[in-house]
Amino acid sequence: MLKKVIAVLLIVLAAGAWLYLDYLNKQEQALAEQARQEMIQARAEAAARAAARDKLEAELMEAFNTCKASADQAKEAFLMENRKPVRRKPGEFTISDEIATQADAMLGKAYAECQLVHDTRYTQGY
Q: What pLDDT is stored for residue 85 in this prediction?
A: 77
What does 17-86 look like in DSSP terms, one character per residue?
A: HHHHHHHHHHHHHHHHHHHHHHHHHHHHHHHHHHHHHHHHHHHHHHHHHHHHHHHHHHHHHHHHHT-EEP
pLDDT at 42: 97
**What does the pLDDT profile of the chain (126 residues) look like in tens digits?**
989 999 999 999 999 999 999 999 999 999 999 999 999 999 999 999 999 999 999 999 999 999 999 999 999 999 888 888 777 778 777 888 898 999 999 999 999 999 999 999 988 876
Q: What is the structure's pLDDT at 94? A: 83
